[in-house]
Amino acid sequence: MVAVASAVVALGAATGTLTALGDDADDGGRDTERARPKAGATLVAPSPPPSPPPSASPSVAASTAKPTPSAARTTSRPRAAAAPVSLYRHPESQILDWVRAHPADPRADVIESRIASRPAAVWIADYAPDTVTARVRAVTAGGAAQGRVPVLVAYAIPERDCGGASEGGAPDVDSYADWIDRFAAGLGSREVVVVLEPDSIAQADCLDESGRADRFAALARAGRVLKTANPKARVYYDAGHSGWNAPAEQAALLKQAGAASAASSDGIFSNVSNFHDTADEAAYDRRVLDALGGPPGLGAVIDTSRNGNGAPADGEWCDPDGRKIGRAPTFATGEDRIDAYLWVKLPGESDGCKGAAGEFSPSYAYELASS
Report the pLDDT value the prediction gives residue 371, as an integer from 0 to 100.
86
In this predicted model, which residue has the larger pLDDT, 352 or 262? 262
Task: Report the share of the chain in percent with pLDDT over 70.
Answer: 77
Strand, coil or helix: 59: coil
Residue 158 pLDDT exceeds 70: yes
Give percent of the chain with pLDDT exceeding 90: 71
Under 8 Å between Cβ of 359 and 350? yes
pLDDT of residue 21: 33
| Poorest-pLDDT segment among 66-75, 110-119, 125-134, 165-174 | 66-75
| Predicted local distance difference test score (pLDDT) of residue 170 | 97
Q: Is the pLDDT of residue 196 over 60?
A: yes
Give the model's pLDDT for residue 198: 96
For the stretch 226-253, pLDDT in tens is 999 999 999 999 999 999 999 999 999 9
Say whether pLDDT at 186 is over 90: yes
In this prediction, residue 156 carries a pLDDT of: 98
Backbone phi and psi for residue 151, each to the nearest 5 degrees, phi listed first: -120, 125
Structural contact between residues 56 and 135, judged by C-beta atoms closer than 8 angstroms: yes
DSSP for 249-310, written as a single string: HHHHHHHHTTTT-TTT-SEEEE-TT----HHHHHHHHHHHHHHH---TT-EEEEE-TT-TT-
**Residue 323 to residue 307: CA distance in whole angstroms:** 7
Separation CA 224–CA 261 (nearest Å): 9
- Catalytic residue list contains 303: no
Give dist(CA 5, CA 131) in Å, integer: 29
**Count of beta carbons in the 10 Å neighbourhood of residue 50:** 12
Indicate the SS3 state at residue 19: strand
Is residue 98 over pLDDT 50? yes
Name the pTM for this structure.
Answer: 0.81
The whole-number pLDDT of residue 203 equals 96
Question: Of 15 and 127, which is predicted with more confidence?
Answer: 127
Q: Bridge partners of 323?
A: none
Report the C-alpha gap between 106 and 218 in whole angstroms: 47
Question: What CA–CA distance (Å, rounded) separates 44 from 65?
Answer: 24
> Residue 207: how many CB atoms within 10 A of its CB?
16
Query: Concatenated DSSP letters for 124-169?
Result: E-S--HHHHHHHHHHHHHHHHHHT-B-EEEE---TTBGGGSTT-B-
Among 56, 18, 60, 12, which Cα is nearest to 37's? 12
Confidence of residue 72 (pLDDT cuts 50, 70, 90): very low
Q: What is the mean pLDDT of residues 146-161?
A: 97
Amino acid letter, 264: S
Query: Cα–Cα distance between 94 and 338 in angstroms, integer?
Result: 29
Q: What interhelical angle do 209-229 and 173-184 show, nearest 10?
A: 20
Given the residues 23, 27, 238, 351, select the one marked as catalytic. Answer: 351
Q: What is the pLDDT of residue 315?
A: 87
Averaged confidence pLDDT in the chain: 83
The whole-number pLDDT of residue 351 equals: 87
Out of 199, 238, 280, 285, the active site residue is 199
Is residue 268 helix, strand or coil?
Answer: strand
d(CA 299, CA 34): 26
Residue 327 CB contacts under 8 Å (≥ 6 apart), including other chains: 24, 25, 26, 27, 278, 304, 308, 341
Catalytic residue among 23, 31, 161, 285: 161
User: Has 178 been annotated as catalytic?
Assistant: no
Per the DSSP assignment, residues forming a β-bridge with 132 are: 56
